[in-house]
Structure 1
């Protein structure tokens, strides 16, 4: 397996297929929004190998990406990575970030860690959000399910969290009217709500899920969230003949219900900000952000990344990160590329390693390092 790595230059100025759930015991189909006649969704393949864009990300990104590459090499996966070491820690990486976007446009498929976004007023815009908006990768899926071998406070959790990726509070339309007064616009459109709602119901149909819950705050934001809720209700009527239940829940009640009785949820669909928060709560229910696989799907491009987007700056260079989330995301990517045999081998190896206690990182209650966990997974292959 070959790797093409594009690092940050010294002088910055110079510079209808389906994916399947990563869980070994249960395959989950991810609906691809592109119509069957659209041929441009096909990923690039040369000499029997797929070319995939890899962006390790900040924090623990380089360490988990190294684990991913080691496992792929050990499994002889026919994938060649174009690696771009983009960092959100500096705005000087804008040129390299644009190169990574061009790579993703060529390859159609990518895998990434989380890029850091500064919170200061003078900080640059989020590379993560920019990528989803520029390429219209509008559907985010996070899979929160208990993993055998990992202790958690609650059991029988199996939730698919689907969020709209391109509008809502993440529209980026804010300005300071006068000193001390900031206006921020939350954008909700019927067209984009319809497509994310249909994505959620298609997901439920393809995976024999029984219920879809729309999360909102329509009691207060009667126009914006009201439109989201009404649109979801309209779409739900189109799927009544499939026998899928539909209900809605206010976001603050959702938070309480998640930590008290999460078993009531099956598929959840919501606007951008709510989805970000709920996916983090879901990760906490099953044992932490290092266990949640995920992906972002658009009409033409697919970007796979951990479903709970934590940078992990506190674990930087400590060899303590849990690579499970990125490995599970990569399994989803392999199924998207129709490499099911490789996907199953890696998925089985990851789950067997965790369930048997062969190796567990600190967040799973063990003492093993990132490299030791990776070596254990490779041994299980």
Structure 2
């Protein structure tokens, strides 16, 4: 029997509930499609910070590295001093690529019914300053009224993310990669990024390549999103644009943060509070789409298709409360219904 090791990060608020739900769904789908997931529940986030003094305990980091994939449903950074939980995760595990598929789904509002693109951003450097230094946060003040933030862009990190984007395009039938930049202003940093992208494009001639100023792309995502296929950019530009893109499909946007040793799947969500489960009103669909993405990339296409079909039906006939939605999903999968895309 095929066996996969999956780390389930308990997180905060609804996180432990969704981690256990993911455990149950993996067991159900594994039984149905002939594979087994060896799972481990691991602390991560604000609750871990309270209990262990760090949002990413060493045992959690070790468990993620030893797993084939990790799943984090909900993480709260409020009250965590120092690096954010996700920022620390990325830095400690060298997760350099954030990959976010953006696809319209019936049952939820989207800007266009045919919207289908992917945002890939580099997540170890750029203007997110906590990742740029061996020690220190990358921000400082020379006096009480003057603040500085350090942006670091290297050719090596830029080439790594560019090659990753072209590899992703080739493996997933994508036709074009668009590198987003502001090289007219950031001549050295964006210039270095573009040099790496052009070299990667030359090494992947089967995929079309173009460049666009990030300001224009922010407009273009609204005005003509059909022009885009894979968007490739640096950390802060990608942080903003990937959230804009997610909003175009009602935030039904899974993502994976990956590096040479680990993959962590986590949803794009901007809920005002991860404790919304107390009101039984948290939307579990973005997290469950991450589970679908995880199954696909573990090489379980039948299980992924079954989950995708059940989620599609749930989007068309949603429950009023979180528990109702999760219960309906389990019934659909237990009943053997299947509807792939």
* 3-state SS in 1 of match to 2:255: strand
* Counterpart selection for 2:237 from 263, 267, 274: 274
1:358 equivalent in alignment to 2:317: yes
Q: 1:358 Cα shift?
A: 2.8
Q: Which moved more, 1:70-79 or 1:223-232?
A: 70-79
In structure 1, the residue matched to 2:151 is: 186
In structure 1, the residue matched to 2:119 is: 161
Q: How many residues align?
A: 319
Question: Can you list the C-alpha shifts for 1:284-333, whole angstroms capped at 9, x where unaligned?
Answer: 1112x2x2112112112111111x24354063422112212221211222
1:309 and 1:216, CA in 2 relative to 1: closer, same or farther beyond 3 A?
farther
Residues 45 and 77 of structure 2 are in contact (CA less than 8 Å); yes or no, is this contact kept in structure 1? no
Structure 1 gap ranges (5+): 1-46, 361-367
Residues 214 and 249 of structure 1 are in contact (CA less than 8 Å); yes or no, is this contact kept in structure 2? yes
* Counterpart selection for 2:61 from 101, 111, 126: 101
In structure 2, the residue matched to 1:197 is: 162
In structure 2, the residue matched to 1:285 is: 248
Residues 58 and 311 of structure 1 are in contact (CA less than 8 Å); yes or no, is this contact kept in structure 2? no
1:255 equivalent in alignment to 2:215: no
2:146 and 2:6 map into 1 onto residues whose CA distance is: 44
1:377 equivalent in alignment to 2:329: yes
Residues 67 and 370 of structure 1 are in contact (CA less than 8 Å); yes or no, is this contact kept in structure 2? no
1:118 and 1:226 map into 2 onto residues whose CA distance is: 36
In structure 2, the residue matched to 1:148 is: 106
1:89 and 1:274 map into 2 onto residues whose CA distance is: 30
TM-score by length of 2: 0.85
* Counterpart selection for 2:8 from 25, 41, 54: 54
1:117 equivalent in alignment to 2:77: yes
1:57 and 1:91, CA in 2 relative to 1: closer, same or farther beyond 3 A?
closer
* Counterpart selection for 1:318 from 279, 297, 300: 279
Question: Can you list the C-alpha shifts for 1:46-80, whole angstroms capped at 9, x where unaligned?
Answer: x9653322113234433433443343344355223
Q: Which moved more, 1:172-181 or 1:56-65?
A: 56-65
1:96 and 1:266 map into 2 onto residues whose CA distance is: 35
* 3-state SS in 2 of match to 1:377: helix
Q: 1:234 Cα shift?
A: 2.3
1:89 and 1:375, CA in 2 relative to 1: closer, same or farther beyond 3 A?
closer
* 3-state SS in 1 of match to 2:151: strand
Residues 49 and 56 of structure 2 are in contact (CA less than 8 Å); yes or no, is this contact kept in structure 1? no
Root mean square deviation of aligned Cα: 2.3
TM-score by length of 1: 0.77
Q: 1:263 Cα shift?
A: 1.1
1:325 and 1:51 map into 2 onto residues whose CA distance is: 22
